[in-house]
Amino acid sequence: MGDDSKVNVKIVIIGEAGVGKTSLMSKFVFNTFDDQLQPTIGCDIHNKTMTIDGKNIEVRLWDTAGCERFQTMLPLYYRGCHGAILVYDVTRRDTFNKLRDWLIELENNLTNDDAVVMIVGNKIDKTGRQVSKEDGNQYAKQRSALFIETSAKTNEGVSIAFEELLMKIIQTPGLLDRGSSGINVGENRGNSSGGACNWAANLLSSLWNTVAASG
Ligand SMILES: Nc1nc2c(ncn2[C@@H]2O[C@H](COP(=O)(O)OP(=O)(O)OP(=O)(O)O)[C@@H](O)[C@H]2O)c(=O)[nH]1
Ligand SMILES: [Mg+2]
């Protein structure tokens, strides 16, 4: 593959409800922040094209719902992921305590064994912190995950979070060669448009949103 080919990368964003998963995605993809964001229903998929380490990358971000009602669908979203962003809210200790459950969920469902996990402590702009940076860092280290603190509101750490994760994914030997499986069957190296994949993935997401909303 030449360096001008596009590499497709799938990343899932998970964590408890309200921790800022959608806000992080929106800041990174659209550079927007909404104080009154509605909870995600099912899963939203957004793409961003970027260059990391001289490689053209089409990043597909699966922004999942933290609400328990939608979690039965999660294993489907993990299929073929190259990376996962596991978010907690530094002002809510309960969301940090739940990281263990989320990591077990990832271990059981990620189809790429060496998919890269990044733990993100979000909302550092807020007062009333309940989880120190040291606690977050130490926990991530124990679990061999990357770690960063962010604010989707002020943009602190947001680009770095995604860039570090992507860099690590690119540098993990063989990870991208495996591409994705399951519903992302069209994802592989050298797919320069990604149009059909986007269409299929977004259609699936829309269908799921419709079903979820009516249930
Ligand atoms: N102050 C502050 N507020 C934030 C930050 N990130 C998100 N929020 C707010 O927190 C609320 C929840 O954010 P979302 O991005 O919807 O959270 P989520 O994790 O996607 O939630 P679900 O979709 O329900 O799982 C929204 O009102 C956001 O505006 C942040 O970094 N700082
Ligand atoms: Mg959301």
Q: Where are the domains of the chain?
A: 6-204
Residue 186 burial by CB count (10 A; 0-12/13-18/19+): exposed, middle or buried? middle
- The answer, yes or no, to whether any atom of ligand 1 lies below 6 A from the CB of 179, is no
* 153 touches ligand 1 (CB under 6 Å): yes
Q: Closest ligand 1 atom, CA of 17?
A: 25
Measured from the CA of 126, which atom of ligand 1 is nearest?
1
Q: What is the pLDDT along the chain (215 residues), one digit of tens a residue?
A: 445 688 999 999 999 999 999 999 999 999 999 999 999 999 999 999 999 989 999 999 999 999 988 888 888 899 999 999 999 999 999 999 999 999 999 999 999 989 999 999 999 999 999 999 999 999 999 999 999 999 999 999 999 999 999 999 999 998 988 765 533 333 333 333 333 334 444 455 555 545 544 44
For 6-204, which CATH superfamily applies?
P-loop containing nucleotide triphosphate hydrolases (3.40.50.300)
Joined tokens for residue 103: 């990591």
Q: Whose CA is nearest to atom 29 of ligand 1?
A: 35
State the residue for tokens 């860092």. Answer: 137
Closest ligand to 149 CA?
Answer: 1
* Separation CA 198–CA 196 (nearest Å): 5
Angle between helices 158-171 and 21-30 (to 10 degrees): 90
Q: Cβ(19) to ligand 1 under 6 A?
A: yes
Sign of the torsion angle spanned by Cα atoms 130, 146, 9, 50: positive
The pTM assigned to this predicted structure is: 0.85
Instruction: Tell whether the torsion through CA atoms of 3, 116, 161 and 188 is positive or negative.
Output: positive
Ligand located closest to 39 CA: 1
Whose atoms come closest to the Cα of 15: which ligand? 1
